[in-house]
Amino acid sequence: MATTMWMIGSDALGVDSGLGKVLMQAFFNSIGERLTESAIFWFYNRGTLLTQPDSPVLEAIKALEMNGNKVATCGTCLSYYNIKDTLAVGEIGNMPLMQELIISSEKVVSL
For the chain, the domains span 4-110
Q: What is the mean pLDDT of the chain?
A: 96
Q: How confident is the model at residue 1 (pLDDT cuts 50, 70, 90)?
A: low
Q: Is the pTM of this model over 0.85?
A: yes
pLDDT at 17: 83
Percentage of the chain modeled with pLDDT above 90 = 94
DSSP the chain: --SEEEEE--SSSSS-HHHHHHHHHHHHHHHHHH-SS-EEEEE-GGGGGGGSTT-TTHHHHHHHHHTT-EEEEEHHHHHHTT-GGG--SSEEE-HHHHHHHHHH-SEEEE-
Query: Which CATH number applies to 4-110?
Result: 3.40.1260.10
Over the stretch 27-69, which tens digit does the pLDDT of each residue have?
999 999 999 899 999 999 999 999 999 999 999 999 999 999 9
